[in-house]
Amino acid sequence: MTPPDDERPLTGGRLDHGSANDADGTRVVRAGLPTEEPYEPPLPGPVFAAHYHLPGEVEDVPYAYGRDANPTWTRLERAIAELEVPGDPDTEVVVFSSGMGAISAVLLSLTRPGRTVVLPSDGYNLLAALRERLENNGVQVRTAPTGGDAQLAELDGASLLWLETPSNPGLDVCDIRRLADAAHERGALVAVDNTLATPLGQRPLLLGADLSVASGTKALTGHGDVLLGYVATRDAELAATVRAWRKTVGAIPGPMEAWLAHRSLATLEVRTQRQAGNALAVAEALRARPEVSDVRHPGLPGDPAHPLASRQMSRYGCVVSFTLPDRAHAERFLARLRLVGEATSFGGVRSTAERRGRWGGDRVPEGFVRLSAGIEDSADLVRDLRRALDEAAPSPAP
């Protein structure tokens, strides 16, 4: 049995769990830090260790081998736990080498042949590969869209419900509380992919979910330089199951990546606030363009997801999706942007966009664009988009 994080020896002293009354902007800059010690750094550097001095018996030791635990992970896991459920020292987080490592850990460790899983049909495109693997393992998989809480109709007999809200890349939203209550009535666990919202925008565990899962590669770390994932839960048994999966498959983060992620958390509140504001400005500007259709952003008044998102989320994320007339039009637009890089992923401090159909896994039109708003000046970003749209317009026929 692994001792609780606050009982593990850490360079720089015991962890400070903070106060449940702290605002998010205060919490993120202190989350997971050890208590202050004279002449020690606020956030101790990464611990590089494949093994530890290990005298005597090994049962209940805090650190034995580098695949099991690392003090740098401990701090990061505690920090994320403080954001997922503020003020609750019993919330546990297990960090992984990537978001897919975290997603796979939940879907593959909590299912077995003969069980039924309900997935979103419009979720992250690698869910399709996981669906195939689950079915090859004898697990029945049902799917339904995120919007309209359509997964409700597939819950009878299910053991696990997987939600993704807002969905990627379509940005539909489902009612976590409603779906979690219905799933629990039927004896099913509920996991929520919270990547797009981050724990500052939405707290699935406080809305009834059993597990909150995310790719920390995106907005959580926010600088486009770290691959990371995590699973958060208030259930010790679930945490132990997921942690054992991580140990078995070796999907562990490097200590430098974990340290970079923890360092980046301090700016999470200001980054996500600025990104959400920029995303809304971009969505409003795009909606005014005649060549742009199907503009989606949960914070946009009039968006189909807005009424529910405004009740469930405290901020609406950095992603905007929209459709240009065709593939060529979208590619001309992307090539003419100056402040928006053409790249996959989202949540970084620099704005990015891509024609999502180039990957072939999403059910989107050829001219569908997913844009991630960064922290640039809002007026500059909107000006760049408008100019690129003007320049991307087809040349008039001779």
Share of the chain above pLDDT 90, in %: 91
The CATH number for 302's domain is 3.90.1150.10
Phi, psi for 246 (deg, rounded to 5): -60, -45
pLDDT over 50 at 224, yes or no: yes
- 397 is a domain residue: no
Phi, psi for 130 (deg, rounded to 5): -70, -35
Q: Report pLDDT digits (tens) over 242-267.
A: 999 999 999 999 999 999 999 999 99
Q: Specify whether 96 is located in the same domain as 187.
A: yes
Q: What is the mean pLDDT of the chain?
A: 94
**Cβ of 387: how many Cβ atoms within 10 Å?**
14
Cis amide prior to 166 (ω within 30 degrees)? yes
Q: Report pLDDT digits (tens) over 22-64.
A: 899 999 999 999 999 999 999 999 999 999 999 999 888 999 9
pLDDT over 50 at 15, yes or no: no
Q: Specify whether 248 is located in the same domain as 345.
A: no
The model carries a pTM of 0.93
Q: Report pLDDT digits (tens) over 298-320.
A: 999 999 999 999 999 999 999 99
Which neighbouring-strand residues pair with 140? 116
Q: Specify whether 52 is located in the same domain as 112.
A: yes
Judge contact between 220 and 263, C-beta under 8 A.
Answer: no
- Residue given tokens 């093994």 in the structure block: 51
Q: Is 394 exposed, middle or buried (0-12, 13-18, 19+ CB in 10 A)?
A: exposed
Q: How many domains does the chain have?
A: 2
Pairing of β 229-233 and β 341-342: unpaired
Distances (CA, A) of 88 to 8, 16, 17, 233, 237: 17, 12, 8, 11, 17
Q: Specify whether 106 is located in the same domain as 238.
A: yes
Q: Which of 213, 230, 265 is the last residue of a domain?
A: 265
Would you give the DSSP letter of residue 11?
A: T
Q: Specify whether 23 is located in the same domain as 143.
A: yes
The CATH number for 199's domain is 3.40.640.10
Judge contact between 314 and 207, C-beta under 8 A.
Answer: no
Q: What is the DSSP string of 358-388?
A: GGS-S---TTEEEEE--SS-HHHHHHHHHHH
CA distance 50 to 70: 9
Q: Supply the pLDDT for residue 2.
A: 37
Q: Specify whether 165 is located in the same domain as 291.
A: no
pLDDT over 70 at 229, yes or no: yes
- 398 is a domain residue: no
Q: Specify whether 312 is located in the same domain as 252.
A: no
Q: Supply the pLDDT for residue 397.
A: 61
8-12, 44-48, 361-365: which range is least confident on average?
8-12
Q: Supply the pLDDT for residue 134.
A: 98
Q: Supply the pLDDT for residue 395.
A: 77
If pLDDT is split at 50, 70 and 90, which confidence band does 5 have? Answer: very low
CA distance 363 to 122: 8
208-224 mean pLDDT: 97
pLDDT over 70 at 342, yes or no: yes
If pLDDT is split at 50, 70 and 90, which confidence band does 360 have? Answer: confident
pLDDT over 80 at 391, yes or no: yes
Q: Supply the pLDDT for residue 316.
A: 97
CA distance 232 to 214: 9
Q: Specify whether 78 is located in the same domain as 123.
A: yes
**Cβ of 342: how many Cβ atoms within 10 Å?**
12
58-62, 157-161, 286-290: which range is least confident on average?
58-62
77-94 mean pLDDT: 97
2-11, 56-65, 274-283, 330-339: which range is least confident on average?
2-11
pLDDT over 70 at 18, yes or no: no
pLDDT over 50 at 8, yes or no: no
Q: Which of 238, 265, 292 is the last residue of a domain?
A: 265
Q: Specify whether 190 is located in the same domain as 286.
A: no
Q: Supply the pLDDT for residue 363.
A: 87
Q: Which of 232, 265, 298 is the last residue of a domain?
A: 265
CA distance 183 to 273: 32
pLDDT over 70 at 297, yes or no: yes
Instruction: Find the domain containing 387 and state its range.
Output: 268-392
CA distance 196 to 131: 21
Q: Specify whether 241 is located in the same domain as 369.
A: no
- CA neighbor of 154 nearest in space, from 171, 174, 129, 170: 174
Q: Specify whether 224 is located in the same domain as 115.
A: yes
Q: Supply the pLDDT for residue 21.
A: 82
CA distance 148 to 153: 11
